[in-house]
Amino acid sequence: MKQLRWLAALPALGMLAGPFFLNRVEPMVLGMPLLLAWLVGCTVATSAIMALIYLTDPANRGPEEGA
């Protein structure tokens, strides 16, 4: 599933474009200002998406190259 790698663009887009739309303090989310909460969400989403990409990437199957 090579196409899945384009998902990695989503959190990046969220971080770069988010501040234009969500640059506000209220409402607080999980005790944090809205903008910070949004960026933290993007960070967590990054890890999840990278995990998905890692698991479906054929380059990570088979013997390790360095061995």
Partner 1 sequence: MNAALPIIALAVVVALGLGLRARSGHDMDMEQWSVGKRGFGTLLVFLLMAGEIYTTFTFLGGSGWAYGKGGPTYYILCYLTLIYVISYWILPPAWRFAKERNLFSQPDYFAARYDSRSLGILVALVGIVALVPYMVLQLKGLGIIVATASYGAISQTLAIWIGAAVLTVYVMVSGVRGSAWTAVLKDFMILFVVMFLGIYLPYHYYGGIGEMFTAIDTAKPGFLALPDRGQSATWFASTTLLTALGGWMFPHIFASIYTASDARTFRRNAVFLPLYQLMLLFVFFAGFAAVLQVPGLTGPDVDLSLFKIALQTFPPWFVGVIGATGVLTALVPGSMILIAGSTLIAQNLYRPLARNATDATTGRLAKGIAPLLALACVGFTLYGGETIVQLLLIGYAVVTQLFPAFFFSLWANNPLTRAGAIAGILAGVAAVAVTVVGGYTLAKLAPGLPGPVQDLNIGVVALALNLAVAFAVSLTGGSARRTALP
Alpha carbon 50 to its chain centroid, in Å, reads 7
* Measured distance CA(28)–CA(13) in Å, rounded: 22
Q: Is 35 helix (H, G, I), strand (E, B) or coil?
A: helix
Q: Which of 6, 27, 58, 64 binds partner 1 (CB under 8 A)?
A: 64
DSSP-derived letter for residue 26 is: P
Q: Does 2 bind partner 1 (CB under 8 A)?
A: no
Query: Residue numbers of the site for partner 1 (CB under 8 A)?
Result: 5, 8, 11-12, 15-17, 19-20, 23-26, 28, 30-36, 39-40, 42-44, 46-47, 50-51, 53-54, 57, 59-60, 64-67
